[in-house]
Copies of this chain bind each other. A is one copy, B any other.
Amino acid sequence: MAKLQKSIDKRNALLKATIELVNNSGFHATPMSKIAKMANVSPATIYLYFENKQDLVNQTYLEVKTKYTDFVFKAYDENTSVKTGFEIIWKRIAEFNSNECEYAFFLNQCNNTPMIDEPSRKEGIKYLQPLLHLWQRGKEEGVIKPVSDYILYAYSINPLSFLIMAQKRGEFQFTKAHIDEAFLAAWDSIKL
């Protein structure tokens, strides 16, 4: 057990280091040696846990994406009105962005650069299903605008990423009040 635990610890330390360093410098500007140093292992050790750098980042991505989805949809229950359901999910996403901002930054980088390879990206997309189903229901009930999910996502969910990145850059302070304003804007943009 001790040995296994140590291995898991090392793997986690590597994932953590990857997230932090990639957040600050991007994929290509983050050398394996730095990741190793931050995780307190030898560079060679990384290759016991991951095939290569790309694999390390892919696995980190999928792990973080899973954390994100677990967090976002844990509190969600299908038996609510569309608006309530959306509010619950949206607020969880906002909370994740605030509380786990390292994770949020990382996912953002992944979504905006050719850092993650196609298969892992595809794998990461399926996680949104519950939200898509909710929107589907909303369209059928005439509560949500009958437009592409991409547009709904672009206007109601993605702006949070922009705001969180602005906050990271120190340009913007995301307060409680802002969250309510943001939610209103999100809902207004997609509601019929």
Contact = CB atoms under 8 A, between A and B. Distances in A.
A interface bracket (residues with beta carbon within 8 Å of B): 35 or more
Interface string A130-141: 000000000000
A79 interface: no
A3 interface: no
Contact of A27 (B28, B150, B190): B28
A147 B186 CA distance: 13
Of the candidates A26, A112, A121, A185, the one having the most CB atoms from chain B within 10 angstroms of its own CB is A185
A162 B172 contact: no
Nearest to A167: B150
Contact of A155 (B27, B29, B113, B186): B186
Of the candidates A27, A114, A151, A160, the one having the most CB atoms from chain B within 10 angstroms of its own CB is A151
A109 interface: yes
Contacts of A160: 154
Interface of A: 24-29, 108-109, 112-115, 121, 145, 147-148, 150-151, 153-155, 158-160, 162-163, 165-166, 169, 171-172, 178, 181-182, 184-186, 188-191
A115 B26 contact: yes
Contacts of A190: 185
Nearest to A158: B162
B159 A155 contact: yes
A68 to B, nearest CB: 17
Given A114-B26, A188-B188, A159 B154 contact: yes
